[in-house]
Every structure is written in C-alpha cells, then in structure tokens.
Amino acid sequence: MKYTIVSWNCNGGFRNKFLELLKTYPDADIFVIQECEDPYFYDVEEFKRLFNNGFRIGAKQKGLAVIARDGITLKRLDWPNNSEYSFAPVLINGEWNLVAVWTQSDYTEELHDFLDANIEKFGSKTLMLGDFNSSVVFERKSQSRGHAQLVERFDEIGHKPLYHHHSGDEQGKEAVPTFYWRRKEDQPFHIDHAFAAPSYVVSFEIAPLDTHASWLKLSDHMPIKVVFDTDPQPTEQPLPQIEEDTVYAPKRIVRPMSELKKSQDEAAQPKMSIRMPDGTLIRREKMTDTSRDFIMGMGWEDVRYLNFDVYGQDLITQEHPTGWYKELVPGWYVNTGMKANTMRTTAYEIARALGKKIVVSWD
C-alpha cells in the first residue's frame, strides 16, 4: 500500500495556514507538522477536527503533530526518548513505523541519542522524517556525533537520506534548500530530512523552487513529501526455478549436500552482482561483502524473521560466532561463507519470501 507523507515546519500559527497545506497536498495521507500549536486552546473548529485522527506533543504554542486521514490507524510507540518532545514514533496501520522529528536543542546530539536507544527497532519498514535542524555545513572538524555520522549510522542499516539518494547531490551541497534563515532568500540551508530503505520509497520531493517565495510568506521552512510503498512491486525478471536437490523445512532451508563437500579454500568464485528491487546494483570485490550488503538492502530484520539455515547454521544470529560470520549491526551477525551457487539460491529465496524481485548474475 502506498502512503503520501508530508512534513512541514509551519513556524507557528498552523491554524491560519493548514488550509493552504491541504490545498497544495490534497493527496496526502499523513502530515507531520513541526511548531504546531495546541488546537484545543483556539476556537477554530475546522482546525480542531484535523486532530480527530492525530495527536500532538509539546508546549502550548509550538509542538510536534502527526495527523492522518480517516481510515489510517495511528498507534504511538513507547520508544525510549531523552528528548521528550523531539520525536514521535508511530505504528501506521499496524504495518510500518513513522518517526516524526523536530529537534529543538543540541540537534545532532538529540538525534544520536535517539538512535542509540532505538535504531535496532527500525527494521526496513521505517520512515524517519522532519525538521532535523542538522547539516554538515554546521559541523566542527572535531565533531564526532554530527550530521555526517548520522548519515553513516543510517547507511549501516540500509537507510538512505532520500533527497540525496534521489538527486545525487552531496551532503552540504544541496541544490534545493528546505529552510531560509529569517526567511531571507539569500540564506538557504538544507536541514529537513527523510531517511528510509530506498526499496520502500516511490518518490521524494521538496516544494518546487519556483514556489519558495510563496511558502516564505507562511514559514521559514519548505514542505517535503515522501511516497512510501509498504509493498513495492519491482519489475525485474521472474525468479528462477528452485534447484531440485534443495530440501526444505518450515521457514528454514538446508543447502544441497554437494555444496557442503566443497572446501572454503577452493579457487576464487566468480564476481557476483545483484540487482535490487529498487534498481540498485550490488557488486563487491568480495563475496562476503556482497552477502552482507544484500541482506542489509533487503532489510536485515525482515530477513532474520524468515529463519533461514545455511550449512546447518543460522543465516543471521545474535550469538558471538566465529569463522565466516560478519557483523550486520552491533550484536547481530550474518553467515557470509556461501559459495556462488548457494548465495544465488539463498538470495532468490529471500526475495521470494519477502515478495520482492531481484536479478543475480556473475562474471
């Protein structure tokens, strides 16, 4: 199912601005609004009705709100949070996580603290977006928990900064700003962000540049829009037939006996390439790196729940293994000791189990 999510720091007074946002984004399913006032302190009935399916946290004049259209269920998640009003994790329709963001002081430190406590909960179906108030242009050279490190931490779990992923712009060199300091057009910055696994993202947009002057009459921030697909339908070629000598048990897989007899020290394997559901090509020098990057790209937590067995060992484990296991994220390891044919079969079976399509090739 596809969802359209719009995030906007309204710069206060949302009761006087929400109609313009609804008019501009009539197809939006969910709004994330920063600096939104408490609707119940104001006698604006249409504004109050927005919150019939929504909630807000924060001070009376400025807070963080999540609002959904009728038919979408919002369940607030009790995730640890040292910054009480900066993050609002929500389970959407019981199937994916939305983390609304409005950092308010010591911006990147708030973000790192939140990831310290919760990054293992993200899985692949998580979208984190909002006003991060962070950019590499604000960082000191000695800073160890800045925006660049945030991007690296998200990358480790397969989540990308969506603007940069779609535009190709470098961090700090964005062609399209999201914020104008004091609403001055000659003071542009890019501090509103969205992070997610690319395979679940249909599109990412910032309000068009030719509309920024109009938006500046309402706020110092531009709206950002993400179309998030919880059941993406890639267009790659059909999956191949399963090898006949593969034996199955419920949610586990035992590899062909012929593979088990092969030595890990035999001649170098051909270099494998995997075309992912979002079109990304994974092709590393080492098969171990290809294996790890593939698992991360498919959403390692989703793959873990499939409970695969490779060579009599769990594909993903939380124990402290030795040998061919490689760390995925802190405390979790993946079996990367597969030969080319086994890796190919395992990759296709993972894709099949997750309802996705990939293409594996090698030279």
> What are the tens digits of pLDDT across the range 98-129?
999 999 988 999 999 999 999 999 988 999 99
pLDDT score at 65 = 98
| 314 has pLDDT over 90 | no
pLDDT score at 263 = 36
Give the global pTM: 0.66
Determine the Cα–Cα distance for residues 252 and 292; give it in Å rounded to an integer: 19
Strands 179-180 and 281-282: unpaired
The CA–CA distances, whole Å, from 283 to 293, 344, 360 equal 9, 13, 10
Determine the Cα–Cα distance for residues 59 and 116; give it in Å rounded to an integer: 25
pLDDT score at 34 = 98
pLDDT score at 320 = 60
Q: Give 273-296 pLDDT, tens digit per residue.
A: 888 888 788 888 787 788 888 888
- The confidence band for 303, taking pLDDT boundaries of 50, 70 and 90, is confident
Determine the Cα–Cα distance for residues 335 and 282; give it in Å rounded to an integer: 18
336/183: higher pLDDT: 183
CB neighbours of residue 278 within 10 Å = 17
DSSP class of 145: S
Range with the poorest average pLDDT among 32-36, 227-231, 296-300? 296-300
Determine the Cα–Cα distance for residues 123 and 183; give it in Å rounded to an integer: 37
Average pLDDT, the chain: 85
pLDDT score at 301 = 83
- The confidence band for 258, taking pLDDT boundaries of 50, 70 and 90, is very low
pLDDT score at 283 = 81
Determine the Cα–Cα distance for residues 128 and 246; give it in Å rounded to an integer: 39
90/258: higher pLDDT: 90
- Give the CA radius of gyration of the chain: 23
Residue 353, token pair as written in the block: 């189990």
Determine the Cα–Cα distance for residues 233 and 358; give it in Å rounded to an integer: 11
Percent of the chain topping pLDDT 90: 59
The dihedral over CA atoms of 7, 13, 19, 22, expressed in degrees to the nearest 10, equals: 10
Q: Is 135 helix (H, G, I), strand (E, B) or coil?
A: coil
| Angle, vertex CA 98, rays to CA 92 and CA 102, nearest 5 | 140
Range with the poorest average pLDDT among 161-170, 317-326, 342-351? 317-326
* CATH domain 2-229 topology: Deoxyribonuclease I; Chain A (3.60.10)
Determine the Cα–Cα distance for residues 54 and 70; give it in Å rounded to an integer: 10
- Please name the residues in contact with 289: beta carbons below 8 A apart, sequence gap of 6 or more: 336
Determine the Cα–Cα distance for residues 194 and 22; give it in Å rounded to an integer: 20
Determine the Cα–Cα distance for residues 55 and 38; give it in Å rounded to an integer: 10
- The confidence band for 261, taking pLDDT boundaries of 50, 70 and 90, is very low
Percent of the chain topping pLDDT 70: 86
Give the E-state strand segments of 238-330 in sequence order.
247-249, 252-254, 272-275, 281-282, 309-310, 313-314, 316-317, 325-329
pLDDT score at 363 = 58
Residue 296, token pair as written in the block: 């991360």
- Residue 127 · residue 97 · CB < 8 Å: yes
Q: Is 191 helix (H, G, I), strand (E, B) or coil?
A: coil
Average pLDDT, integer, range 204-211: 96
| 47 has pLDDT over 80 | yes
Question: Domain extents for the chain?
Answer: 2-229, 247-362
pLDDT score at 142 = 72
- Please name the residues in contact with 27: beta carbons below 8 A apart, sequence gap of 6 or more: 4
| 239 has pLDDT over 50 | no
